[in-house]
Amino acid sequence: MRTAGVLAAFAAAVPCLAPRAAGAATAEPAPERLLVVAPASFRPALEEFLAERGRQLGAPVAFLALEEATRPPEGGAPPVPDAPELLKREVHRRWKSGELTALLLVGDVDTVPVRFMKLDRGTKEAFDTAFYASDLYYADLARDDGSFDDWNGAAHGVHARYFGEVHGETNKLDPINFDRVSYVPEIAVGRWPVSTADDAKAVAAKTLRHQRAVLAAGPSTRAAADELAFFVSGGWIDNSARATALIERVKSKGAWRTDLHGFFVAGREPGTAAVAAAFARSPAAIFHTGHGQPWGWEGCFDRDVMTRSPATDTPPFLFSIGCSTAVIATEPPYGAYVDVDGTLHKGTNSGQVFTDFPPPPAPIQRDACNATSVSEEAVRRADGGAIAVIGCVSGSQPCAHTLLDGFVDAMAESPSAAAGRWWPASLARYVRDYMFMDPAPTESWYPPSIFFQGMKFVYLGDPTVRLR
């Protein structure tokens, strides 16, 4: 359990911008322009979604076959970009031409490539190297001048194979933002963690049902649809106070009904019954702060609660800042992984020792290397679970509460916006609040953790869904 003192010490060490002024709630956001990327074989399963979602959004939904997006250009000079970069370059091109505001990746990491960022984490057996899956790579398209950001600003030697490198935990000489990533998203990005066309069709149908219900709801029929539920299950010592302050801010805006439904008191968790009762009410969203694991939120939410929750056309949006609550892939080189050269590594957790920099993971990880979590299962569930989830793919620190604050504040300010739009707003505010694009390492391990916190959170679900 870590205090906010470490966070405050780092914040005091770097220049900060003034706090963002609260914006006025928008009456009706501009239509989202959604691009769906999926294997070509998934298209028949998605035809109904593409057509109806376009009508719901008020703008056509475009489809891009993954194979087309990741096909290397003919006659290109080496080195040939890998699949994530080829896909990102095409998304960047379409963004520059005004064709999209949001991207939906239809496929788990065994189907649609993910980018692994790299940290110089202090683990001797791993040669002080760790990799984390990061879909922020696809959202952070451009530098300030609009040019493509490849997340590979330090492309010399071994670093040419690493993307989104963050230093500062063991390497105290280089800047923390070693690859000079621009960080702030230009578009909203979500991922459906599915591996088959049938699963894609089921999640698509669930999303359409949810949006029909939301769009059809009037002031007299909203009921729990206007409710936000908050749970605190231990964690850092200021969680309860920060959650309470956040709830009060939301109430002052008047856009949502909310309360602290579960509270960590004297070592006692809120309990699974409290979260199960919240699911039964089908609120718009359920938020969690505190400890977490891939299988759930400490002491209050797990696979059993999720699978036993009632079937509904309006499952809630979930957001947890607990550790590893939204694992989508292996965590190399600790866990088993396949590298970019096709070699399988058993990982340091199974006794492997790296005596040089580990080769980077391949952007597709299958079978035992495709780790999962209750968050993925909740999104994949065809008749309930969650309409979308935001969570962390690895360890989470106290600064993650700032991401939650930014997301919920954006909800309160623009309640009719797409849910995926609140997440880029939160990341942009996070950067502004800490103004950390050029931080230098300190003796502490925590500054790099603050920097790459947003890089290891993932949005699972259609980023254009509206909750009201």
Report pLDDT digits (tens) over 314-323: 999 999 999 9
Residue 251 lies in a domain: yes
In this structure, which amino acid lies at residue 167? H
- Tell me the residue range of the domain where 11 lies: 4-21+221-328+368-460
Token pair, residue 394, equals 């690895």
Residue 12 lies in a domain: yes
Residue 19 has pLDDT above 60, yes or no: no
Among 89, 94, 72, which Cα is nearest to 138's? 89
CATH number for the domain harbouring residue 424: 3.40.50.1460
Q: Which residues of 364-386 are buried (b: 16+ CB within 10 A; e: fewer)?
A: bbeeebbbbbbbbbbbbbeebbb
Is residue 373 within 8 Å of 302, Cβ to Cβ?
no
287-336 per-position pLDDT tens digit: 999 999 999 998 889 999 999 999 999 999 999 999 999 999 999 999 99
Residue 116 lies in a domain: no
Domain count, the chain: 1
Q: Which of 344-348, 446-450, 453-457 has the lowest mean pLDDT?
A: 446-450
Residue 138 lies in a domain: no
Residue 413 has pLDDT above 90, yes or no: yes
Residue 244 lies in a domain: yes
Residue 355 has pLDDT above 80, yes or no: yes
Decide: residue 205, CB within 10 A, 0-12 exposed, 13-18 middle, 19+ buried: middle
**pLDDT class for 237, splitting at 50, 70, 90?**
low
Query: Angle 310-274-282 (CA atoms, 0-180°, nearest 5)?
Result: 35
Token pair, residue 102, equals 């949001």
Other Cβ atoms within 10 Å of 156 Cβ, number: 6
pTM for the predicted model, two decimal places: 0.92
Residue 252 lies in a domain: yes
Residue 74 lies in a domain: no
Rounded Cα distance, 466 and 468, in Å: 6
Which residue is it, tokens 């969203």? 285
Residue 451 lies in a domain: yes
Q: According to the model, what pLDDT value does residue 86 have?
A: 97
121-178 per-position pLDDT tens digit: 999 999 999 999 999 999 999 999 999 999 999 999 999 999 999 999 999 999 999 9
Which residue is it, tokens 């780790």? 371
Is residue 306 within 8 Å of 375, Cβ to Cβ?
no
**pLDDT class for 76, splitting at 50, 70, 90?**
low
Among 398, 317, 368, which Cα is nearest to 6's? 398
